Amino acid sequence: MLANLNREDFIELLKKLGAEGDDEVLASARDLHARITVAGISWDELLVPEQSDDESEDELEDEADYEDDGGESEDQADYEGDEEEEEDDGADDVSGDDDDDDDDDEPLSDELKKEAEGLITAIGALDISAATREDLDEYKKDLTDGDFEQMDLDYLRALRGRLSK
């Protein structure tokens, strides 16, 4: 399971911000913030401003002009350039660091799995939303099934840190 940015869960947590109980509101707010932080995006990136009709028409015209030229868009060129850089970065990285925490493809060690189990238990003992409890159940299942990844552990660490404040 990846860090959960499920739209429906997000909407549920946002609705809970209007709840009567401060504890539920605070737990939902912290959960939302932790999910955004772990995903590596900002609220500004998540909440896209509305475009005026003029802006939308201008963008469509620009795209049409581009397609007539038969060239490659800047976005496509940037994206392809990023892929090439990533490939190059991997080839040049020959460090003697044996830290498995940085390699998401490697299976987690027993020690890291135990840490994840402890985090799940600790977070479950806190005042958290129903959606977060469901996520914890999914993480437990992923641990059992061998689908738990480093990214999931990073999320649990960040969530625990955020909820403990």
What are the residue boundaries of the structural domains of the chain, listed by start? Answer: 7-48+109-163, 53-92
Global pTM value: 0.43
- Please give the Cα distance from 35 to 151 (Å, whole number): 12
Q: pLDDT tens digit string along 96-116? A: 444 444 555 677 888 999 999
- Residue 164 token pair: 């403990």
Helices (DSSP H) in the chain: which residue ranges?
Answer: 7-15, 22-39, 43-46, 53-69, 74-92, 110-124, 130-145, 150-163
List the chain pLDDT tens, one digit each, 165 residues.
344 567 788 888 888 888 888 888 888 888 888 888 877 777 777 777 766 655 555 555 555 554 445 544 444 444 444 444 444 444 444 444 444 445 556 778 889 999 999 999 999 998 888 889 999 999 999 999 988 999 999 999 998 888 887
